[in-house]
Structure 1
Amino acid sequence: MKASELLAQYAAGERDFTGVDLSEAYLEGANLSEVILDRAILDGADLRGVNFSKASLIEADLNGANLNQANLTGANLNGAILDGAILEEAILDGANLNQANLTIAKLIGASLSEAEMQEANLKAVSLNEADLSHADLAKADLTQADLSQAELDEVNLNQADLSDANLEGTILDEDQNPTT
């Protein structure tokens, strides 16, 4: 499916695009709130500034996608593949990223307040200056993650692996118990 076809069908009221292939698609700035893109292929897509609020992207393939400044508030990205994705200054407040794979993704300055990230693969992810307040990172793999200057107020790090993570300038509450 071409990006233009998806946008036309969305404008006509269609919301379910489960399994669609939009590899390398250009959708910059599109409004796709509440869209269903479960198991969709969006690898390498240009999704800068897209409004994905309350969207369902369960197990979607977003390898290398550019989601700079995208709005993913309340989106469901459970099990999504975001290897190498760029999510700088993206808004993921209240998003479900449980079991998502974000290896080497860039979330610099992103807002992940109250995000669910249990068992997420965050190896070598860049989360510097990100807001993770009240996020749930239980059992997340943050090996070699860059969390410098990140806001970690009230974050659940129970059984999270922070081996070799950069925590410079980051303050953890004393009740947080990461595994290091």
Structure 2
Amino acid sequence: MPATAASRAPREGAAVALRLGRLASMGTVAALILIAGVWASWGTAQHVMLTKGREQGTMRVTRCAGDVCTGPYTPASEGSRARDRVEIERTVAVKRGQTYSVAVKPGSSDVVRTGPSGLLYSWVPFGGALLLASVVVAGGLRMNRTAWVLGGSGLALITAAFVVL
């Protein structure tokens, strides 16, 4: 029995609805991945980027144990006070005996690295989110050029962070 225009319309309508559903769901997933990347990065990045009114200085790493390195803090900004012991997260780039420019997290003895290396390092989770979102954009949304831009941006951010560190 030949297909008529009336019998094709519901099938085409269903295909359009499925396509729109796929675009909406994959767009939502990609957006949530990017939002989660910004959220994960902002916890550290805010202390590096918004330095006005924050205590800034240098930290000399004297001891590393587990996931934390400690050492004395020497103030460099007005209103900052010297501390015998502050803590910084132990990463590949933090070495015992080195001195780093840092900012103190308000209300704690935790510090984060400042300067270009600290800024780039704080945004590494967002770089990972860009890489992951690029796969979703390419596969789910079929927007290959946009996916290449997202993936390239994420790769460039992560690479720049580890080159500077």
Q: Shorter-normalised TM-score: what interval?
A: under 0.3
TM-score if structure 1 supplies the norm length?
Answer: 0.20
TM-score if structure 2 supplies the norm length?
Answer: 0.22
- The structure where helix makes up a greater share of residues is 2
Q: Which has the higher contact order (CA 8 A, sep 6+)?
A: 2
- The structure where strand makes up a greater share of residues is 2
